[in-house]
Chain A
Amino acid sequence: MTAVTLGRARPAVPRKYLPVLVTGALLAAMFVAGGVRYEGFAHGQVVLNVFIDNAFLLVVAVGMTFVILTGGIDLSVGAVVALSTMIAATLLRAGWPPLPVMALVLAVGATLGLAMGSIIHHFEIQPFIVTLAGMFLARGLCYTIGTDSVPITDPAFTALAQTRIDLVADLWISPSVLIALLVVLAAGYVLHYTRLGRTVYAVGGSEQSAVLMGLPVGRTKIAVYTISGVCSALGGLLLSFYMLSGYGLHAVGMELDAIAAVVIGGTLLTGGSGFVLGTVLGVLVLGLIQTIISFEGTLSSWWTKIFIGLLLFVFILLQRLITARRK
């Protein structure tokens, strides 16, 4: 007996891409169905509008993807988004120039994420409870700054809100979409071409093994919560471009939208498997549901929640089937 090959027949599509493909197929089906059913739906701008309306959610969900890939969870993101809009609006009203405001907002997000990550790692506390505390803290801080909505009149911010970047034909996107897509590309690169990214997957696969393999597990865990904090702060800035206001009641429940998008995008909640591309598709699915319901016209917007709920059930069951077959 010479070298033994004990591999199994490989399927045409590696199983790890399966959830992403399912989400992609779902998205295509939704778009086709919408195009058949509604006049004016099958237009490129409809898709681009989904991006425009959800650019902030996309950025937040990318950060969440990092956290969920390690098997963690970050419940603080929505509150950090709100805090970011509040800080930005208040400082701009006080006359700060826009660039330092943006830098400060990002720094606050990073600090919060770093703090939560450090607590999770050093005190070995479940991420659920640490980020829940972070959520209350950030949301509470919004109201210490102010209880009312603060309008943003800064010219740079309004310019960013109103600029159209023209593409071919009469299609256009907002600067926020561009920023969000850059974040997606950067995240994809980090996850697949750097040690940090691969360690994220290893930690999600088996934290104990990762420790025994000599990987910097603690540093990586702290890093993903910091990344999620920065993404939330950036998402907050994009939301303040979109809303042109800062308010403590912005982005209520956005953490759950972000988690839903990541899961619908095929990332395993237990960690170790998933792609940023899936998260993009997940955000698009959520956005497209909203679009379809507004095209339908007669349905209340709460149907969005019902469809998201049903989709989540289906996708969680799908994940279960895929992981069960692996064993």
Chain B
Amino acid sequence: MAEPAPILEMTGIGKQFPGVRALDGVDLRLRPGEVHALMGENGAGKSTLIKVLTGVHAADAGTVTLAGRQVAFAGPQEAQRAGISTVYQEVNLCANLSVAENVLIGREPRRFGRIQWGAMRRRAAELLSRLELDVDVTAPLADYSLAIQQMVAIARAVDVEARVLILDEPTSSLDAGEVAQLFRVMRRLKDRGLAILFVSHFLDQVYEIADRMTILRNGRLVGEYRTSELSQRALVGKMIGRELAELERLEDRPPARTTGTLLQAEGVGRAGAIEPFSLTIREGEVVGLAGLLGSGRTELARLLFGADHATSGTLKVDGRPVHLRTPHAAMNHKIAFCSEDRKADGLIPDLTVRENIVLALQAMRGWTRPVPRQQQEELVGRYVKALRISPPDPDVPVRTLSGGNQQKVLLARWLILEPRLLILDEPTRGIDVGAKAEIQRLVAELSDGGMAVLFVSAELEEVLRLSHKVGVLRDRRLIDELPNDAALTTEVLMETIASGGGAVPGSGRHDRGDGGRS
């Protein structure tokens, strides 16, 4: 089988953002008549690569050639004119306009400046019927489900003589039937010779539709593979990678001194974020959550903290049902949450270390009862020392600290509340190896002291090293709960993630219960 020549080739793409090397020497080749999946965890550089391709960002290094000619687009519109169309996860259409207008607005058929509505409706209906879509084109787009809207967006995208179609997580808000319809449309477009770049977190979907895939990790190219030649397990391994072998080993973890059940979730879920799950956390227990990014780990943690409202199920603390409607309510139950994105959700960069640390304590007391300065300094001094925050000066702005030390400041903020359950979402992401080890050591110490910890991390070794029990997530479902014994290895975990646990893999999200979107 002769391989068609690539229509689009990106070679050696590099992109530097302040402080981050987002892309480094990445290649991507799209062939006509193929669906090509772009794989990688969040932060691996997928979005950046797409943005470089569509001209949102300019590349620092590397070349892009389209049909043999070197190109560099100044913006999405220019890329679209050259035949590269993008459909985003959030449908970027105007729901108040009719379907026909959404397909054709900006290039309506006109005569002497007057829009020919009849011709416009016929043309739109024809374009949509080519996608096997039979809808009333005069109805407002808002009358239709998100899936239809997505396909209208695709119809709009492919009408402009598209040669490359980029679908950025198009399936994340569709149900199984809608996904199937989208895939039929994609196959049709593929047969017409379009090159389709497909980004999705759902491995089953990728294996169903993609012919080939490019895997990124940490902004670097891992490789390009044929889907048929790469097992799901191998794919997961390549996406996660292993880089922590050199890290210090913690001594054998003593079994958790599990005195009693602290928190019990029964069928707790949130439509669209995570399917109902049941999880028990005991005092002094470290529960790890493993799964790919986007598998629902953060969503699960946010529900337990009351940052999002659960739409189903009950949550019990100390055996009594509680309603965690707000983080404040969770904090009253001594539950603390260290967020994943310490810059956006956690620290306030221009405040000092001391101010950042006392923030949660102050919030608990309310603004009418300020924490006395002396008590502030005493508490802060104790934790700066205990966590070895460097520099040990509580009055420097937090933005001047390194990532690892910022993370410790965030930890200190929650530790002074003396929580019974500490939720750590990716506490070691983006910090250096030494700081990582220290934070891990701290987690171990805290749990030995009787604190329960829910530990969310993308790094399986880390999860294994710390946890007494590991919950495995995939496609926004808690698919398995494994005790951390000698039999549990990173291989077993990876296998569980890749195979979908004991449960039927499927695409896993058939019953979302909110299909009636219109």
- Are these two chains actual partners, yes or no? yes
Chain A residues within 8 Å of B, Cβ to Cβ: 2-8, 10, 14-16, 192-195, 198-199, 201-202, 204-206, 208-210, 212-215, 272-273, 326
22 contacts between A and B (CB under 8 A): A2-B132, A4-B133, A5-B134, A5-B135, A7-B139, A8-B143, A195-B106, A195-B113, A195-B115, A201-B94, A201-B96, A202-B94, A204-B96, A205-B94, A205-B96, A206-B92, A208-B92, A209-B92, A210-B94, A213-B156, A214-B77, A215-B106
Q: Closest approach, in angstroms, between the C-beta of B121 and any C-beta of chain A?
A: 14
Complex Cα spacing A224 to B136, Å: 31
- Which residues of chain A have C-beta atoms less than 8 A from B88's C-beta? 212
Closest to B116 in A: A193
Return the contact of A202 from the options B97, B114, B145 (Cβ within 8 A): B97
Say yes or no for B215: interface residue by CB 8 A criterion.
Answer: no
- Chain B 106-154 residues near chain A, CB threshold 8 A: 106, 108, 110, 113-115, 129, 132-136, 139-140, 142-145, 147-148
State whether A194 touches B181 (Cβ < 8 A). Answer: no
B-side contacts of A3, CB under 8 Å: 129, 132-134
Q: Given contacts A3-B129, A214-B80, are A209 and B135 in contact (CB under 8 A)?
A: no
Q: Is B518 an interface residue (CB 8 A)?
A: yes
| CB pair A272 B96 closer than 8 Å | yes
| In contact, A7 and B144 (Cβ under 8 angstroms) | yes
Number of A-B contacts (CB under 8 A): 88
Chain A's nearest CB lies how many Å from the CB of B350?
A: 24
B-chain residues with CB within 8 Å of residue A15 when the two chains form the complex: 140
Residues of A within 8 A of B140 (CB): 14-16
B134: contacting residue among A4, A16, A209, CB under 8 A: A4
B101 within 8 A of A: yes
A97 to chain B, nearest CB (A): 33
A326:B142 contact, CB within 8 angstroms? yes
Q: State A198–B92 Cα separation when bound (angstroms).
A: 16
Closest Cβ of chain A to B96, distance in Å, is 4
Q: State how many angstroms separate the Cβ of B378 from the closest Cβ of chain A.
A: 47
Per the 8 Å Cβ criterion, residues 399-419 of B in contact with A are none
**In-complex Cβ contact of A214 among B93, B97, B106 (8 A):** B106
Which residues of A have CB within 8 Å of B134?
A: 3-5
Q: Are B105 and A202 in contact (CB under 8 A)?
A: yes
Q: How far is the CB of B292 from chain A (nearest CB, A)?
A: 28
The one of A2, A194, A215 that contacts B113, using a Cβ cutoff of 8 Å: A194
- Which residues from B are CB-within-8-Å of A206? 92-96
Q: Which residues of chain A are within 8 angstroms of B76 by Cβ–Cβ distance? A: 212
A213 touches B105 (CB 8 A): yes
Choose from B80, B135, B142 the contact partner of A7 (Cβ within 8 Å): B135
How far is it, in angstroms, between the C-alpha of A202 and the C-alpha of B76 when the chains are bound? 19
Nearest CB of chain A from residue B47's CB, rounded to whole Å: 15
Contact yes or no, B145 A6, CB < 8 A: yes
Knowing A193-B114, A215-B105 are in contact, say whether A209-B143 is a contact too (CB < 8 A): no
**Would you give the shortest CB distance from A212 to chain B, in whole angstroms?**
4
- B148–A199 CB distance below 8 A: no
Q: A16-B140, A202-B97, A213-B94 are in contact. List 19 more A-B contacts (CB 8 A).
A: A6-B135, A6-B144, A6-B145, A8-B143, A193-B114, A194-B113, A195-B106, A195-B115, A199-B105, A201-B94, A206-B94, A209-B92, A209-B93, A209-B94, A212-B88, A212-B92, A213-B106, A272-B96, A326-B142
Name the residue of chain B whose CB is nearest to the CB of A11. B143
In the complex, the answer to whether A198 meets B101 with C-beta atoms within 8 Å is yes
Complex contact B136–A198 (CB within 8 A): no
> Nearest B residue to A203 by beta-carbon distance?
B94
Set of chain B residues within 8 Å of A16, measured between Cβ atoms: 140
Chain B residues whose CB sits within 8 angstroms of the CB of A205 once the complex forms: 94-97
By a CB distance below 8 angstroms, the chain A residues around B77 are: 214
Q: Is the pair B108, A198 in contact by a Cβ cutoff of 8 Å?
A: yes
Q: How far is the CA of A195 from the CA of B113 in the complex (A)?
A: 8
| A199 CA / B76 CA spacing, docked (Å) | 19
CA distance A212 to B132 in the complex (A): 25
In the bound assembly, the distance between CA atoms of A304 and B440 in angstroms comes to 72
CB distance from A83 to the nearest CB of B (A): 32
Bound-state Cα–Cα, A6 to B136, Å? 10
